[in-house]
Amino acid sequence: MPEAPEIETIRLGLAPELTGRRLEKALTRRPDLRKPFPRDFAERLQGRRVEEIGRRSKYLLLGLSGAETLLIHLGMSGRLILKRTNGPEALGDFHHAAGGVQAHDHVVFWFEGGLELTYNDARRFGMMDLHPTAALAEHPALKALGPEPMTPGFSGVELLRRIGGARGPVKTLILDQGRLAGVGNIYACEALWRAGISPTRRGVDLTPAEAEALARDLGEVMRESVRAGGSTLRDYRRADGEIGGFQDRFAVYDREGQACPRCGGRVERLVQAGRSTFWCPGCQR
DNA sequence: CTGCACGCCTGCCCGC
DNA sequence: TGCGGGCAGGCGTGCA
């Protein structure tokens, strides 16, 4: 679901509200998401203060007092929704949660000052973990991630270093989180369209100029999406519950059979490594 | 090593 | 209206 721009949008929404606040109580309603919550998860979180909120790839990183970081991944359908609580009686009680308990509300965090953060995830492909902040880079989910295309300065040289030698199709390669971090199916398709590169081209066949264009367009399309509040297709919501706006600007994603905005040709769908690829054969070579 | 199929889980949409 | 199949912003495993 959410790719790096959606997680970044959530981060930008949460940071001014939660930074510096004490987490008064946390509650889980089931033992696991994609994997079990860490041992004594809710108890270990209680009383910690949020020192900073960061992001790496599609992971939201809540740096907490006590030298540990809470890692949150939203999988395909995870949401983090921040609300004002219904008052002290709501604390620690799902049934007094603001707006009532919704289906698939799996975790609630109550913060000082009357803020309630709910994690909802129908498919439960998400994960949460708690890890020493000093060793964050060694966390199994983070240690093998590639560079972030949204970072200013990300270049074609860097991109070629990551995918240049590979014989697989470029679409599949840029989705590989060990090569590039944070790119998902939407932005892979959109960036390849912007760069005019066919998704079936082999990494090894990309020219330096094409790599430069793709590096630039990956960064541009993802930063544009953050400015629009991310892309909402089904589940994704910003932290304030509003939907994103970038889905209205898709050139090819989820637009099979419609006209390419650049050449007027028909957008086509193909399947690569089990995932849909949307592209325009008229202007992607 | 690499690329790919599959499973994880629920919901929604479409066609019959 | 009901039901089955296909599909979905991700990722880890296991296989050839």
Structural Rg of chain A based on CA atoms: 20
Instruction: Provide, in whole angstroms, the distance separating residue A49's CA from nucleotide B4's C1'.
Output: 44
Q: Which CATH architecture has domain A4-138?
A: Alpha-Beta Barrel (3.20)
- DSSP string for A236-279: ---TTS---SGGGG-SSTT-TTSBPTTT--B-EEEEETTEEEEE
Domain boundaries, chain A: 4-138, 156-279
**Is the shortest CB-to-strand distance from A277 to strand B under 7 Å?**
no
SS3 A84: strand
- The 10s digit of each residue's pLDDT in A63-87 is 999 999 999 999 999 999 999 986 5
**Is the shortest CB-to-strand distance from A273 to strand B under 7 Å?**
yes
Tell me what pLDDT residue A95 has.
64
**Is the shortest CB-to-strand distance from A266 to strand C under 7 Å?**
no
pLDDT at A88 over 80: no
pLDDT at A91 over 70: no
Residue A112, token pair as written in the block:
């000082």
CA A56 – CA A129 distance, rounded (Å): 14
CA A39 – CA A41 distance, rounded (Å): 5
- Distance between start and end Cα atoms, chain A: 28
Is the four-CA dihedral A275, A269, A233, A150 of positive or negative sign? positive
Instruction: Provide, in whole angstroms, the distance separating residue A22's CA from nucleotide C13's C1'.
Output: 38
Tell me what pLDDT residue A100 has.
83
As ranges, strand B nucleotides with an atom below 7 A of a protein CB are 2-12
Instruction: Provide, in whole angstroms, the distance separating residue A266's CA from nucleotide C15's C1'.
Output: 37
Tell me what pLDDT residue A254 has.
96
**Is the shortest CB-to-strand distance from A122 to strand B under 7 Å?**
yes
Instruction: Considering all nucleic acid strands, name the nucleotide whose C1' atom is nearest to the C-alpha of residue A172.
Output: B3
- The 10s digit of each residue's pLDDT in A32-71 is 999 999 999 999 999 999 999 999 999 999 999 999 999 9
pLDDT at A28 over 70: yes
**Is the shortest CB-to-strand distance from A24 to strand C under 7 Å?**
no
Looking at every residue in chain A, the average pLDDT score rounds to 95
On whether the CB atoms of residues A18 and A111 are closer than 8 A, the answer is: yes
Instruction: Provide, in whole angstroms, the distance separating residue A273's CA from nucleotide B4's C1'.
Output: 6
Instruction: Provide, in whole angstroms, the distance separating residue A259's CA from nucleotide B3's C1'.
Output: 32
Question: Given pLDDT bands bounded at 50, 70 and 90, which one contains residue A267?
Answer: very high
Half-sphere exposure for A37 (CA within 13 Å, toward CB): 18
Active-site residue list of A: 2-3, 58, 275
Q: What percent of chain A has pLDDT over 70?
A: 95
Question: Given pLDDT bands bounded at 50, 70 and 90, which one contains residue A98?
Answer: confident
CA A160 – CA A174 distance, rounded (Å): 11
CB-CB neighbours of A97 under 10 Å: 20
CA A81 – CA A14 distance, rounded (Å): 9
A156-279 matches A4-138 in CATH topology: no
Question: Given pLDDT bands bounded at 50, 70 and 90, which one contains residue A92?
Answer: low
Instruction: Considering all nucleic acid strands, name the nucleotide whose C1' atom is nearest to the C-alpha of residue A235.
Output: C9
**Is the shortest CB-to-strand distance from A184 to strand C under 7 Å?**
yes
Question: Which of the listed CATH numbers 1.10.8.50, 3.40.50.300, 3.30.9.10, 1.10.3720.10 matches domain A156-279?
Answer: 1.10.8.50
- Sorted by sequence, the CB contacts under 8 Å of residue A53 that are 6+ apart come out as A11, A14, A15, A18, A19, A60, A61, A62, A63
Tell me what pLDDT residue A72 has.
98
- The 10s digit of each residue's pLDDT in A222-246 is 999 999 999 999 889 999 999 999 9
- The 10s digit of each residue's pLDDT in A165-219 is 899 999 999 999 999 999 999 999 999 999 999 999 999 999 999 999 999 999 9
Tell me what pLDDT residue A104 has.
96
Tell me what pLDDT residue A47 has.
98
CA A279 – CA A50 distance, rounded (Å): 42
Return the beta strands (E) in A151-262 as ranges: none
Instruction: Provide, in whole angstroms, the distance separating residue A213's CA from nucleotide B12's C1'.
Output: 37
**Is the shortest CB-to-strand distance from A139 to strand C under 7 Å?**
no
pLDDT at A111 over 70: yes
Tell me what pLDDT residue A211 has.
97
**Is the shortest CB-to-strand distance from A283 to strand C under 7 Å?**
no
